Amino acid sequence: MSDEEKKVTIETGEAGKGTTEIPDDANTEEVEERALSVFSSDRNEDITALIFCLITTFLVLLFTKWLV
Amino acid sequence: MTHIKEQTPTLIMGAMLLVYGLIAQSGALLPVVKYLHTHKTLDLQVTMCLIVGCIALVGALVNSVRKPGHSNLDTFILQPLGGIVLILVMAMLIRWYAEPLMKIISQSLQPVLGFKIYKVLNLNYVVLGILAGVLLTNTWGIPKFAAPGVKCARFVLKMGVIMLGARYSFAELAKLGVYSVFLVGFFVLGTVFLVLWLGNLFKQPRSMTGVLSAGMGVCGVSATVAVAPVVKAKSAEMAYTIGTILSFGIVCMFIFPTIGKLAGMSPVQFGAWAGTGILNSAQVAAAALAFNAVDIETLKVAEIFNITRVLFLPIIVLVLATWFGKESGHKLSFKTVVIDKFPVFIIGFLLLFFMSSIGMFSPPSHYKGKYIDVSYNDRTQVTQEEWETLNKAMAAGEFSGLTPKQLEAVTDLIKQRQIAGNFEDRNNKKEFDHVGRARMAQLEGVLAAAKAKQIELSADVKSAIKHAVKQVHKKSKTVVTLTDFMIWFFAFGLIWLGMHITKKSITQAGGWPIVMGVIAGITKATLSFFVVLWLIKDVVLN
Confidence at residue A15, expressed as pLDDT on a 0 to 100 scale: 40
Helix or strand holding residue B505 (H, E): helix B503-509
**In this predicted structure, which of B38-47, B207-216, B318-327, B333-342 has the lowest mean pLDDT?**
B333-342
Q: What is the DSSP letter of B373?
A: -
Mean pLDDT of chain B: 83
Q: What is the mean pLDDT of residues B165-185?
A: 74
| Same domain, yes or no: A2 and A22 | yes
- Asked if B502 is an interface residue toward chain A (Cβ–Cβ < 8 A), one would say yes
| Mutation for B interface: A14, A36, A51, A53, most B CBs within 10 A | A53
Reported residue count of chain B is 542
Q: Alpha helices, DSSP H only, in B165-234?
A: 170-175, 178-201, 206-217, 221-227
| B139 vs B127: which has the higher pLDDT | B139
**Which of B26, B49, B160 lies closest to B96 in space, CA to CA?**
B49
CA A53 to chain centroid? 17
Is B155 close to A43, i.e. CB distance below 8 A?
no
> What are the residue ranges spanned by the domains of chain B?
4-151, 161-366+477-535, 372-475
Give B235's contacts in chain A (Cβ within 8 Å): 16
Q: Measure the CA–CA gap between B145 and B257, rounded to whole angstroms.
A: 51
CA distances from B152 to A48, B118, B245 (A): 12, 30, 28
Q: Band of the pLDDT at B541, cuts 50, 70, 90?
A: very low
Confidence at residue B287, expressed as pLDDT on a 0 to 100 scale: 85
Confidence at residue A36, expressed as pLDDT on a 0 to 100 scale: 63
Sequential DSSP letters for B400-418: TTS-HHHHHHHHHHHHHSS
Give A61's contacts in chain B (Cβ within 8 Å): 360-361, 478
**Which of B246, B280, B254, B249 lies closest to B130 in space, CA to CA?**
B246
Is A57 close to B166, i.e. CB distance below 8 A?
yes
Q: Measure the CA–CA gap between B356 and B120, rounded to whole angstroms.
A: 31
Helix or strand holding residue B473 (H, E): strand B473-475
| Same domain, yes or no: A5 and A32 | yes
Minimum distance, in Å, between the CA of residue B297 and any CA atom of chain A: 35
User: pLDDT in tens for each of the 68 residues of chain A?
Assistant: 444 445 555 554 444 445 555 555 555 555 555 556 777 777 888 899 999 999 999 999 999 989 87
Q: Taking a contact as any Cβ pair under 8 Å apart, which residues of chain B between 317 and 356 contact chain A? A: 343-345, 347-348, 351-352, 355
Q: What is the mean pLDDT of residues B208-216?
A: 88
| Same domain, yes or no: A29 and A44 | no
| Same domain, yes or no: A66 and A45 | yes
pTM equals 0.77
| Same domain, yes or no: A25 and A50 | no
Q: Are B276 and B219 in contact (CB under 8 A)?
A: no
Confidence at residue B510, expressed as pLDDT on a 0 to 100 scale: 65
Q: Are B420 and B372 in contact (CB under 8 A)?
A: no
Q: Measure the CA–CA gap between B261 and B270, rounded to whole angstroms.
A: 9
Q: Measure the CA–CA gap between B402 and B446, rounded to whole angstroms.
A: 7
| Same domain, yes or no: A12 and A27 | yes
Q: Measure the CA–CA gap between B222 and B245, rounded to whole angstroms.
A: 11
| B208 vs B16: which has the higher pLDDT | B16
Q: What is the mean pLDDT of residues B96-117?
A: 87
Q: Measure the CA–CA gap between A37 and A51, rounded to whole angstroms.
A: 18
| Same domain, yes or no: A15 and A30 | yes
Q: How many domains would you assign to chain A?
A: 2
Total Cβ atoms within 10 A of residue B490? 26
Q: Are B136 and B142 in contact (CB under 8 A)?
A: yes
| Same domain, yes or no: A32 and A1 | yes
CA distances from B148 to A13, A33, A38, B151, B406 (A): 10, 15, 8, 6, 60
| Same domain, yes or no: A27 and A3 | yes
Is A60 close to B504, i.e. CB distance below 8 A?
no
| Mutation for B interface: A14, A17, A37, A38, most B CBs within 10 A | A38
CA distances from B246 to B111, B210, B268 (A): 23, 18, 25
- Cα torsion through B470, B474, B478, B483, rounded to 10: -40
| Same domain, yes or no: A17 and A30 | yes
| Same domain, yes or no: A26 and A44 | no
Q: Quick one: chain B helix, strand, coil %, rounded to 5? A: 75, 0, 25
Helices and strands: H and E segment counts in chain B: 28, 2
Q: Could you give the ipTM of this predicted complex?
A: 0.76
CA B208 to chain centroid? 23
Q: Using alpha carbons only, how large is chain B's radius of gyration in Å? A: 25
pLDDT in tens, B220-271: 777 888 888 888 888 778 877 888 887 788 788 888 988 988 888 888 888 8
| Same domain, yes or no: A29 and A8 | yes
Phi, psi for A19 (deg, rounded to 5) = -135, 160
Domain limits at A51? 40-68
| Half-sphere exposure of residue B105: CA atoms within 13 angstroms, side-chain side | 10
Residue B540 pLDDT > 50: no
Sequential DSSP letters for B289-348: HHH-SS-THHHHHHHHHHHHHHHTHHHHHHHHHHHHHHHHSSS--HHIIIIISS-HHHHH
Considering only CB atoms, A48 lies closest to which of B155, B163, B360, namely: B155
Q: Alpha helices, DSSP H only, in B79-140?
A: 81-93, 99-113, 117-120, 125-138
3-state SS, residue B370 = strand
